[in-house]
Amino acid sequence: MNRRDLVGFDPEHFRKEQVRGRALDPLRTFQEVFRANLWGGDSRSGLGASRDQTAAIRAAIPALCERLGVRRLLDVPCGDFSWMAEVDLRGAAYVGADIVAEILDQNRERYARHDRQFLQLDLTRSVLPAADLLLCRDCLVHLSHAHARAALANIARSEISWLLTTTFPHEPINVDIVTGDWRPIDRTCSRRLGGAPCSGSFAGPRSATGTELRLRHRAQERTRQEPSAHAPLRS
């Protein structure tokens, strides 16, 4: 069965809207996702933000921050911060960013403190603040090829040392989507993501199953093999 058929929401909602003549820019798209809870679940960030879906990564991040010496973690998109609120960052400062202002207002009211701030940023084009680690979980899977390429190029321009992101190793093809919809992508494949090679820019997969969160140190010429953290597939 196609993985897109297994998620608990319509993975082609915005493509269908586009066919009907209703095309939205990324800001309006993700505003609609938030306001209508289009991805389902108790969290407005979708089913992938549930306690079950985030159990593995919540357990892995503290040790990862210690191992990499993370002093500042940038989380884009931070969504409603529901699961990250439970993560011990081992003293690292946290910067959560999202394109939707309403989410950020809610987060500031509930979670802001001296070592935790929330910013409105567009991952595809905003200047990203410097950080030791960028957490970019369940983001590229919701972006079209064009927007995913723009986001990766923007990250490459930043002063961020490490990237922790989602991939589906051995996915047979990286299909294009309308931004806001969903599909699995393999960020380590030799196939091309809308014209941009996947290989050569990121570390290779360390696991053949599940959603792998991989690391790459931008400052090194040779890829350094680090243990990867894992999260289960979105239900």
Residue closest to 130 by CA, chosen among 104, 108, 99, 97: 97
Tell me if 214 sits within 8 A of 60, measured CB to CB. no
Considering the entire predicted model, what is its pTM?
A: 0.81
∠ CA 24-30-36, nearest 5°, is: 100
Diameter over CA atoms, the chain = 49
**Number of residues in the chain:** 235
Whole-angstrom distance, CA of residue 19 vs CA of residue 21: 5
Higher pLDDT, 9 or 204: 9
Q: How confident is the model at residue 30 (pLDDT cuts 50, 70, 90)?
A: very high
Q: What is the pLDDT of residues 113-128, one digit of tens each?
A: 999 999 999 999 999 9
**Residue whose tokens read 């972006």:** 143
pLDDT of residue 146: 95
Q: With beta carbons less than 8 A apart as the criterion, state whether 166 and 140 touch.
A: yes
Sort strands 93-98 and 196-197 into parallel, antiparallel or unpaired: unpaired
Residues of the chain with pLDDT > 90, as a percent, come to 63
Q: Which CATH architecture has domain 3-231?
A: 3-Layer(aba) Sandwich (3.40)
For residues 84 and 96, the answer to whether their CB atoms sit within 8 Å is: yes
Q: Locate the domains of the chain by residue range.
A: 3-231
Tell me how far apart the alpha carbons of residues 4 and 22 are, in angstroms, rounded to a whole number: 22
- Residue 213 pairs in a beta bridge with 166, 229
